[in-house]
């Protein structure tokens, strides 16, 4: 069973390699800009990035962003972004591991729910998110509700 861990400063190059081979938008360049963004990401208390690896290669990742909230009895907002799994490692549990780690962290941070959106039209992608606990919403948006 794949395992997710929090991302570390040394993971940047492997993350950029993952983004290059995956069907996602272009990553930040040049490398100096990516390094600056990565430092900022890792130092932000409202952001957590999780990765799943095979040997030393990162094969899946996702980012949890949390924000304070005056509504919902003060429970935080959670947003899931940049969910990516290497094409050669899909359907092996790596994506589920990073999403599961992000959701567990969101509940630890007292989030009311975690929101995520997908622009993908592939029904397999939507089934994946539903199996991870997200409920389909309007305009292909998803919500994971805080467990009771």
User: Scanning the structure block, which residue is given the tokens 């290669």?
Assistant: 57
- Provide the pLDDT for residue 128: 94
Q: Is the pTM of this model over 0.85?
A: yes
Distance of alpha carbon 64 from alpha carbon 105, whole angstroms? 8
Q: Which domain does 114 fall in, by range?
A: 4-145
Residue 109, domain CATH:
3.40.630.30
| pLDDT tens digit sequence for 136-146 | 874 445 667 78
Domain count, the chain: 1
Residue 7 confidence (pLDDT) above 50: yes
- Provide the pLDDT for residue 138: 42
| pLDDT tens digit sequence for 35-44 | 999 999 999 9
| pLDDT tens digit sequence for 44-72 | 999 999 999 999 999 999 999 999 999 99
| pLDDT tens digit sequence for 104-114 | 999 999 999 99
Residue 23 confidence (pLDDT) above 90: no
- Provide the pLDDT for residue 139: 45
Contacts of residue 59, Cβ cutoff 8 Å, sequence gap at least 6: 18, 52, 53, 85, 86, 88, 89, 94
């Amino acid at each position: 069973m794949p395992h997710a861990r929090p991302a570390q400063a040394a993971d940047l190059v492997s993350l950029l390699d993952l983004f290059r081979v995956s069907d996602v938008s272009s990553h930040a360049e040049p490398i100096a800009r990516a390094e600056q963004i990565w430092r900022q990401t890792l130092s932000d208390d409202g952001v957590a990035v999780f990765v799943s690896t095979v040997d030393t290669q990162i094969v899946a990742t996702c980012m949890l962003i949390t924000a304070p909230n005056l509504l919902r009895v003060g429970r935080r907002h959670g947003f899931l972004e940049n969910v990516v799994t290497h094409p050669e490692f899909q359907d092996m549990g790596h994506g589920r591991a990073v999403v599961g780690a992000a959701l567990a962290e969101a509940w630890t941070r007292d989030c009311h729910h975690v929101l995520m959106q997908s622009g993908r039209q592939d029904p397999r992608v939507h089934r994946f998110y539903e199996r991870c606990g997200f409920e389909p919403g309007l305009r292909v948006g998803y919500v994971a509700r805080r467990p009771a």
